[in-house]
Amino acid sequence: MKKIPLHWSILLGMILGVLVGIIFTTFEAGPKIISHWVKPFGTIFINALKLIAMPLILGSLIKGVSDLKDISKLSQMGGRTIGIYIITTVVAVMIGLVMVNAIKPGVSISEETRQDLITAYQSDAEEKQAIAQQQKDAGPLQALVDLVPNNIFKATTENGNMLQVIFFALFFGVGLILIPAEKSKPVKDFFDGFNEVILRLIDLIMLVAPYGVFALLAALIVESPSLDLFRALGMYAMTLVIGLAVMGIFYLLLVRLFVKLKPKKFIEGIAPAQLLAFSTSSSAATLPVTMERVEEHLGVDEEVASFVLPIGATINMDGTSLYQAVAAVFIAQAFGMDLDAGTQLSIVMTATLASIGAAAVPGAGMVMLVIVLAQAGIPEAGLALIFAIDRPLDMCRTVINITGDASVSLLVAKFTGKLDKYSKGKK
């Protein structure tokens, strides 16, 4: 019997969860049964995502930074690559914030439903409010002070300290680059293996995603059966898709302005990789095809493609960063939280840095979202609101991820004089 693809399994789990939730709301003991015997499995699933977030950051970020050892030989290429990747990531997060603040998908939730959500997660809300008050009472440079941990082992015990862990991982990765290769090799080999283990654990967690989604949706229905919540989810999905489309147009403009390549030619060149990215939701799985299309059909020199694209698969997750911004603000809106400019600026910083450590595998974006929510003081339990429709949206944002990688490879090749003007992809 042919195995059902994971995204269809998750959608099936979502539908069944909604149906079971509706059925169990029709009799008196139903909500209690769901809360006691079904919801715990959804909670376990969210806990597993939170469990893997810290190791994922350490493993993938240290590996990604230390892999830049060739930057000593390709300093010009490396500097431009990292610089452009950071700029496009910041642009992606800003587009996400503009879209979600303009459309306000979470505001459509009725006050009654919002109060039900706040009541359900009251302890979370009180804890975040206390943290927010502490931040308000602190000085203007406290965020900079908090960025540097005084004890990395203590920092890794709390997901809310993710920025500190990201700082340490970057610092540690730079240290690996600066020492002789023979001395760094054992450490790099350890983190390479460690990263592979974490990626496999994510695969295992995603295997039970349909069951986790089923439990989360069934509990959500019996605890907040208002239809306006699902209308808001539809608005959230629409907001994200529009934002991703705007980001795609931004890439086309970059390529047109700086590389003088027509959008039609660019799309024709990269389309097979985009389709594969959509079907697999994995930048890593798509990487060989992306490299082939960029080299053979868009004229990027092999040296540039082999340097820029693998790094991009690790540290350039523009679609994922845009999604994190939209999802974080949507969840805050659903809970009736008003995020000030400072908090939204912290989302820009956190989403940008978190994208550097986002693994190029399906489902990793959801793990990274835990980091953004924790840092912005948004209830992490809000993941339950969006996970059910995350898989099809993951497919869309992976397309943007690999499109961004291809665009940056063209820009770097152009700026370093390694773009073949006789390529089949040129006009």
Strand partners, 409: none
| Gyration radius of the chain over CA positions | 22
Question: pLDDT per residue over 308-350, tens digit each?
Answer: 887 777 677 888 889 888 888 888 888 777 777 777 877 777 7
When mean pLDDT is compared over 232-236, 239-243, 326-330, the highest value belongs to: 239-243
Contact 403, 274 (CB under 8 A): yes
Please tell me the least confidently modeled range out of 12-26, 115-129, 176-190, 386-400: 115-129
Contact 413, 291 (CB under 8 A): no
Residue 207 makes CB contacts below 8 A (sequence gap 6+) with 6
- Distance of alpha carbon 363 from alpha carbon 354, whole angstroms: 14
Question: What is the token pair recorded at 171?
Answer: 């610092």
Q: Give the pLDDT confidence score for residue 58 in this predicted structure.
A: 80
Domain annotation for the chain: domains and CATH numbers: 6-415 (1.10.3860)
3-state secondary structure of 419: strand
- Is pTM beyond 0.75? Reply is no
Question: pLDDT per residue over 207-233, tens digit each?
Answer: 887 888 788 778 877 876 466 777 888
Local confidence band at 357 (pLDDT 50, 70, 90 cut-offs)? low
Q: How far is CA 408 from CA 156, 256, 294, in A?
A: 33, 12, 11
- Distance of alpha carbon 298 from alpha carbon 402, whole angstroms: 14
State residue 419 phi and psi, 5-degree precision.
-105, 120
- Distance of alpha carbon 46 from alpha carbon 254, whole angstroms: 38
Q: How many residues does the chain have?
A: 427
Question: pLDDT per residue over 126-179, tens digit each?
Answer: 554 454 455 545 555 665 777 788 898 888 887 656 667 778 887 888 888 888
- Distance of alpha carbon 279 from alpha carbon 256, whole angstroms: 27
Q: Give the pLDDT confidence score for residue 163 in this predicted structure.
A: 67
Question: pLDDT per residue over 181-200, tens digit each?
Answer: 899 899 989 988 988 888 78
Q: Give the pLDDT confidence score for residue 76 in this predicted structure.
A: 64
Please report the DSSP string for 329-371 in residue order.
HHHHHHTT----HHHHHHHHHHHHHHHHT--SSTTHHHHHHHH
Mean pLDDT of the 367-396 span: 72
Mean pLDDT of the 278-298 span: 78
Contact 39, 215 (CB under 8 A): yes
pLDDT, mean over the chain:
78
State residue 95 phi and psi, 5-degree precision.
-60, -45
Local confidence band at 284 (pLDDT 50, 70, 90 cut-offs)? low
From the list 360, 379, 369, the residue with the least C-alpha distance to 132 is 379
CA within 13 Å, CB half, 147: 12
Please report the DSSP string for 55-112 in residue order.
HHHHHHHHHHHHGGGGGGTSHHHHHHHHHHHHHHHHHHHHHHHHHHHHH-GGGGS-HH
- Distance of alpha carbon 78 from alpha carbon 84, whole angstroms: 10
Local confidence band at 234 (pLDDT 50, 70, 90 cut-offs)? confident
